């Protein structure tokens, strides 16, 4: 719509805050009736540049189940948020958070995933968290499934590969919407639903014995079941709590063609389509045409029930949330070696710096992405993850001078503001890991994102004491000034 003015800054009710996930922070993995989850059988990486989360087989699961310690399985201990949540939420409030993104551990509510009755102790735990948030005027933003599910569903039916999991999930979601009606205004169904390269982490399906093509087949089938489950959850949510909003969540990586050669430009376009396929389904309510060709040429056949298309059409989301950490370059001549849900190009960009974990830092890419997503979907956008994983040093007087983190975040906030001036409808920004937590990809503790330092090392040694970093006071100012004071 033509107007002779542009928004000059962040909207008034902008949701500033931080984002976390249950399996990376709660700990208390075997307390109060909770069942074992898929995240708790993933070993920590031996090499920090490799994601151990992708390395799961039936055999490694068996080994994990016979080991009832958290030594090799850091996601079992998290940062013990389960027992520190009051202290932690108070610190978030001190920073001025308007929103706190967290996930619910399905296995706290339904320990086996297919139980008839929910576990009251699990439900209560999240009641306490939401009440605590509201005490400080913090809006909880809740991910229903963030890289974990009850392990029993893997053992019994190979996770999301099975259609049966849809019914288990809708029982879980219905329980949540009824219980937390009025307490949770913002929901999200699946974290990074497009991250199927993550295999087991994303789908709870074991596929190590399969060929690459069979893996692709299984993962796309699993994600189809997630699409249906997500759409059903959207419908339930709208019905049970019409005031609540429910979104989808995408791992967004901006990609660029390596050169202006049209073959690179086209390869990049395909990469982008394969990334946006997931949001096309969840926002537009249908499989996009370009996937027909992709599936056909890659021998992938999606098994759909006759009613699936209708369900997907009805269950379109209210907003689009996404994580953004980096960008990448697509080179048409490079053949992908491993399975690639073709999510990520991993080409190097000579114009960008990288983090210690090789992630290419690209704040302008965030503005580009925001514009692209807004142009394509025209629904509110929410940046629900962004941040720098770095090695921090705690000084003897318990300070952390993390100017590098401030620099990273500042540059991204500047670009979000540019996007708002471009006309993008952006509803909020929750940085990843406002308090240090266990890494999703490698299970390290030393890959820290937080404004709050947690005294724990990769082996789980430490007092678990929380300390404010320099970035804590910086973010406090950012929020208080609604993004104006970035100094």
Nearer Cβ to ligand BGP, position 10 or 451? 451
Helix (H) or strand (E) holding 329: strand 327-330
255 has which bridge partners? Answer: 328
CA 109 to chain centre: 20
What stretches of 348-482 show up as alpha helix (H) in DSSP? 363-377, 403-421, 470-480
Smallest distance from ligand BGP to CB 108, Å? 17
- Residue 333 sits at the vertex; the CA angle it makes with 343 and 49, to the nearest 5 degrees, is 45
Token pair, residue 260, equals 């202006």
Strands 254-257 and 327-330, how do they pair? Answer: parallel
Nearer Cβ to ligand BGP, position 24 or 173? 24
Residues 6 or more apart whose Cβ sits within 8 Å of residue 418: 367
Taking the CB of residue 186, how many other CB atoms lie within 10 A of it?
23
Residue of this chain nearest to ligand BGP (CB atom)? 441
Separation of alpha carbons 219 and 199, rounded Å? 7
Q: How many helices (H) and strands (E) does the chain have?
A: 15, 14
Q: Which of 139, 148, 192, 444 is catalytic?
A: 192
Separation of alpha carbons 458 and 416, rounded Å? 33
Nearer Cβ to ligand BGP, position 170 or 446? 446
Q: Is 192 a catalytic residue?
A: yes
Smallest distance from ligand BGP to CB 440, Å? 3
Task: With beta carbons less than 8 A apart as the criterion, state whether 193 and 146 touch.
Answer: no
Smallest distance from ligand BGP to CB 227, Å? 18
Token pair, residue 377, equals 């979907």
Nearer Cβ to ligand BGP, position 192 or 308? 192
Q: Which of 26, 148, 385, 444 is catalytic?
A: 385
Smallest distance from ligand BGP to CB 389, Å? 4
Nearer Cβ to ligand BGP, position 159 or 257? 159
Separation of alpha carbons 414 and 243, rounded Å? 31
Nearer Cβ to ligand BGP, position 81 or 432? 432
Smallest distance from ligand BGP to CB 311, Å? 26
Smallest distance from ligand BGP to CB 439, Å? 4
How many Å is the maximal CA-CA distance in the chain? 67
Separation of alpha carbons 152 and 173, rounded Å? 18
Q: Tell me which residues touch ligand BGP (CB under 6 A).
A: 21, 24, 147, 191-192, 251, 323, 385, 389, 432, 439-442, 447
Residues 6 or more apart whose Cβ sits within 8 Å of residue 436: 79, 392, 445, 448, 449, 450, 452, 453, 454, 456
Task: With beta carbons less than 8 A apart as the criterion, state whether 23 and 146 touch.
Answer: yes
What stretches of 209-303 show up as alpha helix (H) in DSSP? 212-240, 262-279, 289-297
* Catalytic residue list: 192, 385
């Amino acid at each position: 719509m033509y107007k002779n003015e542009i928004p000059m800054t962040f909207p008034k009710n902008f949701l500033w805050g931080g984002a976390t996930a249950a399996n990376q922070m709660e700990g208390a993995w075997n307390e109060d009736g909770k069942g074992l989850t898929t995240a708790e059988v993933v070993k920590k990486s031996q090499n920090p540049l490799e994601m151990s989360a992708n390395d799961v087989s039936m055999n490694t699961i068996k080994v994990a189940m016979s080991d009832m310690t958290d030594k090799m399985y850091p996601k079992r201990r998290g940062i013990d948020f389960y027992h520190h949540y009051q202290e932690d939420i108070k610190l978030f409030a001190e920073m001025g958070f308007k929103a706190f993104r967290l996930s619910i551990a399905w296995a706290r509510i339904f320990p086996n995933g297919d139980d008839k009755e929910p576990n009251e102790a699990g439900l209560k735990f999240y009641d306490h968290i939401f009440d605590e948030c509201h005490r400080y005027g913090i809006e909880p933003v809740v991910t229903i499934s963030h890289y974990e599910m009850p392990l029993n569903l893997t053992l019994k039916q190979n996770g999301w590969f099975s259609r049966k999991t849809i019914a288990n999930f809708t029982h879980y979601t219905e329980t949540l919407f009824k219980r937390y009606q009025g307490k949770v205004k913002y929901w999200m169904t699946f974290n990074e639903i497009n991250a199927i390269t993550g295999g087991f982490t994303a789908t709870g399906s074991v596929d190590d014995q399969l060929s690459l093509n069979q893996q692709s087949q299984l993962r796309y089938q699993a994600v189809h079941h997630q699409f249906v489950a997500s759409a059903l959850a959207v419908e339930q949510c709208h019905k049970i709590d019409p005031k609540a909003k429910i979104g989808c969540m995408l791992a967004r990586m901006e990609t660029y063609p390596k050169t202006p050669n049209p073959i690179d430009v086209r390869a990049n376009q395909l990469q982008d389509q394969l990334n946006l396929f997931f949001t096309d389904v969840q926002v537009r309510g249908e499989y996009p045409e370009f996937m027909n060709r992709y599936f056909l040429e890659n021998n992938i056949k999606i098994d759909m029930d006759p009613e699936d298309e209708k369900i997907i059409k009805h269950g379109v989301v209210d907003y689009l949330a996404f994580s953004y950490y980096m960008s990448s370059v697509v080179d048409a001549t490079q053949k992908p070696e491993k399975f690639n849900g073709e999510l990520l190009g991993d080409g190097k960009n000579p114009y960008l710096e990288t983090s210690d974990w090789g992630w290419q830092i690209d704040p302008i890419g965030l503005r580009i992405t925001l514009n692209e997503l807004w142009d394509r979907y025209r629904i509110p956008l929410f940046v629900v993850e962004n941040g720098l994983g770095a090695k921090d040093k705690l000084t003897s007087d318990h300070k952390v001078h993390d100017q590098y983190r401030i620099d990273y975040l500042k540059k991204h906030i500047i670009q979000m503001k540019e996007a708002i001036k471009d006309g993008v409808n952006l509803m909020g920004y929750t940085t990843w890991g406002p308090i240090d937590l266990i890494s999703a990809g490698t299970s390290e503790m030393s890959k820290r994102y937080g404004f709050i330092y947690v005294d724990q090392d990769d082996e789980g040694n430490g007092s678990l004491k929380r300390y404010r970093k320099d970035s804590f006071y910086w973010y406090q100012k950012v929020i208080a000034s609604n993004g104006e004071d970035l100094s």
